[in-house]
């Protein structure tokens, strides 16, 4: 499995550098009893409440059944976040959703503090005025997004799609994938008939012949290929789609609770490291959550690159998504995603 795991020590170091350095060692070294007493009182208050870098009593995390977030699903099943945040008196509440748009609605209503999103919901929410920040990259999905045809289709290349009917969720990453794939062969949406479907309808439209190809993402790719409904025509990475899936947080919440953000990043990274050694019970729970069998979970996971760190490539990928949405008219103007990357300092 591909992994570019960011050291949790780096995450911790960046965040903690913004939390310490308040001069306690300098005060103690002066031998001034009053100064020492003041510092000691302050330290006692901080340690006793366990609240350094934390103002919230609860963190509400919005999660969805996507293979991009398997490490977080593992962390949830194992109770790691609850254990790590208990010393700060913080309760973890999990809010379950089917996809990104309702997660955005939950965050806009202040019902969720942290959300698991694909690239399109991430940049769309910010463009709409939501004050969110990208706190980490859950996964890149160059092989997690794919264009599928029916298993018995005679379509063998992207160029064969000319004059055909293609289907995806309009405005989604699948829509962007089709645009990139068609462009790679000198084609455009004018050369095909584009149909809007929900992700769950992909197998049906291929089986009935209503569409000659669909653009879809995991775990649907694995499910449709393994049950014999479809075959892969091309993967996102083949045509330049990185497929960035971030974790985002409300900006005010992140600024006031850097320790919670640090813990979430650490436990997500722990979940990445655990995939290869996942227990049978946890694997079964993840499979049930994703509506897959246990072997399929491991297949789906192998198609994601769980990165944690935010790289220049991730920023470029999100910026590309903004450009795509402007191009198709879903956004009115470009903005810089760099302005919405979380910095603990």
Residues 247 and 336 both lie in one domain: yes
Residues 262 and 136 both lie in one domain: yes
pLDDT of residue 45: 30
Q: Do residues 330 and 171 touch, judged by C-beta distance below 8 A?
A: yes
pLDDT of residue 16: 35
Residues 248 and 326 both lie in one domain: yes
Q: In this structure, what CATH number is given to the domain that contains residue 227?
A: 3.40.190.10
- Answer yes or no: is 14 within a domain: no
Sheet holding 165-168, edge to edge: 193-196, 165-168, 213-217, 145-150, 230-235
193 forms bridges with which residues in the sheet?
165
Residues 235 and 248 both lie in one domain: no
- pLDDT tens digits, 138-162: 999 999 999 999 999 999 999 999 9
Average pLDDT over all residues of the chain? 87
Residues 66 and 130 both lie in one domain: yes
Q: How many domains does the chain have?
A: 2
- pLDDT tens digits, 12-45: 343 333 333 333 333 333 333 333 223 333 332 3
Give residue 98's pLDDT band: very low, low, confident or very high (50, 70, 90): confident
- What is the extent of the structural domain holding 202? 145-239
pLDDT of residue 27: 33
Residues 110 and 246 both lie in one domain: yes
- Answer yes or no: is 4 within a domain: no
3-class SS letters over the chain = CCECECCHHHHHHHHHHCCCCCCHHHHHHCCCHHHHHHHHHHHHHHHHHCCCCCCCCEEEEEECCCHHHHHHHHHHHHCHHHHHHHCCCCEEEEEECCCHHHHHHHHHCCCCCEEECCHHHHHHHHHCCCCEEEEEEEEECCCCEEEEEECCCCCCCHHHHCCCEEEECCCCHHHHHHHHHHHHCCCCHHHCEEEECCHHHHHHHHHHCCCCEEEEECCHHHHHHHCCCEEEEEEHHHHCCCCEEEEEEEHHHHHHCHHHHHHHHHHHHHHHHHHHHCCHHHHHHHHHHHCCCHHHHHHHHHCCEECECCCHHHHHHHHHHHHHHHHCCCCCCCCCHHHHECCCC
**What is the percent of the chain where pLDDT is above 70?**
85
- Residue that finishes a domain, picked among 175, 209, 239: 239
- Answer yes or no: is 88 within a domain: yes
- Residue that finishes a domain, picked among 186, 207, 239: 239
Give CA 302 to chain center in angstroms.
16
- Answer yes or no: is 21 within a domain: no
In the chain, how long is the greatest CA-to-CA distance?
85
**In the predicted model, is pLDDT for residue 326 greater than 90?**
yes
- Residue that finishes a domain, picked among 239, 261, 290: 239
Residues 89 and 117 both lie in one domain: yes
- pLDDT tens digits, 158-208: 999 999 999 999 888 999 999 999 999 999 999 999 999 988 899 999 999
pLDDT of residue 101: 87
pLDDT of residue 99: 87
- Answer yes or no: is 13 within a domain: no
Residues 235 and 246 both lie in one domain: no
- Cα-based angle 176, 247, 7 (whole degrees, multiple of 5): 115
| Claim: this prediction has a pTM higher than 0.85 | no
What are the C-alpha distances in Å from 338 to residues 31, 175, 308?
46, 23, 17
Residues 62 and 208 both lie in one domain: no
Residues 194 and 73 both lie in one domain: no
Residues 246 and 129 both lie in one domain: yes
- Answer yes or no: is 234 within a domain: yes
CA distance 197 to 194: 10
- Answer yes or no: is 345 within a domain: no
Residues 152 and 172 both lie in one domain: yes
- pLDDT tens digits, 295-312: 999 999 999 999 899 999
pLDDT of residue 170: 87
67 forms bridges with which residues in the sheet?
none
Give residue 255's pLDDT band: very low, low, confident or very high (50, 70, 90): very high
- Answer yes or no: is 11 within a domain: no
CA distance 256 to 261: 10
């Amino acid at each position: 499995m591909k992994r570019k795991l960011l050291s949790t020590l780096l995450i911790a170091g960046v965040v903690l550098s913004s939390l310490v350095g308040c001069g306690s060692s300098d005060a103690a070294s002066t031998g001034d009893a009053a100064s020492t007493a003041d510092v000691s009182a302050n330290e006692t208050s901080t340690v006793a409440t366990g609240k350094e870098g934390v103002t919230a009593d609860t963190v509400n995390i919005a999660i969805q059944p996507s293979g991009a977030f398997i490490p977080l699903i593992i962390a949830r099943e194992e109770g790691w976040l609850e254990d790590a945040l208990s010393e700060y008196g913080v309760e973890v509440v999990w809010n379950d959703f089917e996809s990104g748009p309702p997660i955005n609605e939950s965050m806009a209503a202040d019902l969720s503090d942290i959300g698991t999103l694909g690239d399109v919901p991430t940049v769309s929410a910010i463009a709409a005025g939501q004050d969110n920040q990208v706190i980490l990259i859950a996964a890149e999905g160059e092989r997690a997004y794919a264009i599928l045809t029916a298993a018995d289709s005679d379509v063998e290349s992207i160029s064969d799609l000319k004059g055909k009917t293609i289907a995806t969720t309009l405005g989604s990453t699948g829509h962007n994938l089709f645009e990139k794939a068609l462009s790679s062969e000198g084609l455009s949406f004018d050369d095909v008939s584009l149909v809007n479907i929900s992700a769950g309808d992909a197998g049906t439209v291929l089986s009935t012949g209503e569409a000659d190809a669909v653009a879809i993402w995991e775990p649907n790719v694995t499910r449709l290929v393994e049950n014999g409904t479809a075959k892969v025509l091309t993967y996102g990475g083949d045509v330049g789609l990185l497929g960035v899936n971030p974790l985002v947080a409300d900006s005010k919440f992140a600024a006031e609770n850097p320790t919670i953000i640090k813990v979430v990043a650490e436990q997500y990274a722990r979940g990445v490291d655990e995939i290869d050694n996942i227990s049978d019970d946890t694997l079964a729970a993840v499979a049930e959550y994703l509506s897959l069998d246990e072997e399929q979970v491991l297949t789906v996971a192998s198609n994601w690159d769980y990165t944690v760190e935010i790289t220049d490539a991730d920023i470029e990928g999100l910026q590309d998504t903004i450009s795509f949405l402007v191009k198709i008219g879903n956004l009115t103007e470009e903005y810089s995603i760099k302005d919405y990357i979380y910095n603990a300092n």
